[in-house]
Amino acid sequence: MRIGVLGGTFDPVHVAHVFAGVSARHALGLDRVLFTVANAPWQKADRRITSAEDRFAMVAAALEGVDGLEASRIEIDRGGPTYTADTMADLAAAHPGAELFLIVGTDVADDLHTWERVDELRATATLAIVSRPGAPPVPMPGWRTATVEMPLLDVSSTDLRRWVGEGRPVDGLVPPGAVRLIAERGLYALTG
């Protein structure tokens, strides 16, 4: 079993997240790609984060019908601040013999040294870095790495939160099921 883990805040989930998961699954021959929704992203504690349940619901809706991609509650159910090292350890214990891949964008790869217990992570997973075709490889000393090519999609949750707040439509950048939840639950409204 080859399992990919694409962790994030997903506040909100967008098409680049989905396509990164799809591309990693194809490039690395993964059986499953788990979108682990962070419970409490301690590195983003300086801003207001949408509730974990709302973010999980958006991810689950966005991945519905996408082969091999699944929303995972593992970090929400564990509770407390989210450390990817705990997630990978839990997955390794739950799936003995599985090969684990930690899927990250280049922004996250550049930041990995600030994460908790990076040495444990290095021991449990191959780092799959999603980057644009032909981009120079990000040097990651000590890591087993794999590259996943994907065109640069310059979309971020940060921009999407602002746009929804301004009343701009985000269809096409956010999968339809997630757009529906944003409207129904009034997420990212400026007054909300």
**Residues making contact with ligand ATP (CB under 6 A):** 8-11, 16-17, 20, 104-105, 107-108, 130, 153, 155-158
Q: How far is the CB of 108 from ligand ATP (least distance, A)?
A: 4
The single residue listed with the structure tokens 């891949």 is 101
Closest CA to 124 of 138, 144, 154: 144
Q: Which is nearer to ligand ATP, 96 or 136 (CB)?
A: 136
Closer to ligand ATP by CB, 45 or 93: give it: 45
For ligand ATP, give the closer residue by CB, 1 or 135.
Answer: 135
Nearer to ligand ATP, 93 or 157 (CB): 157
Nearest residue to the partner ligand ATP, using Cβ: 105
CB of 103 to ligand ATP, least distance (A): 7
Least Å from the CB of residue 97 to ligand ATP:
26
Question: Smallest Cα–Cα separation from 54: which of 172, 164, 168?
Answer: 164
Separation CA 74–CA 187 (nearest Å): 23
The gap between the terminal CA atoms of the chain, to the nearest Å, is: 43
The nearest distance, CB 34 to ligand ATP, in angstroms, is: 13
SS3 (DSSP) at 39? coil
Q: Which is nearer to ligand ATP, 34 or 97 (CB)?
A: 34
Closest distance of CB 15 from ligand ATP, Å? 8
Q: Which run of H or E residues covers position 69?
A: strand 69-72
**Is 15 strand, coil or helix?**
helix
Please, are residues 179 and 160 in contact by the beta-carbon 8 Å criterion? Answer: no
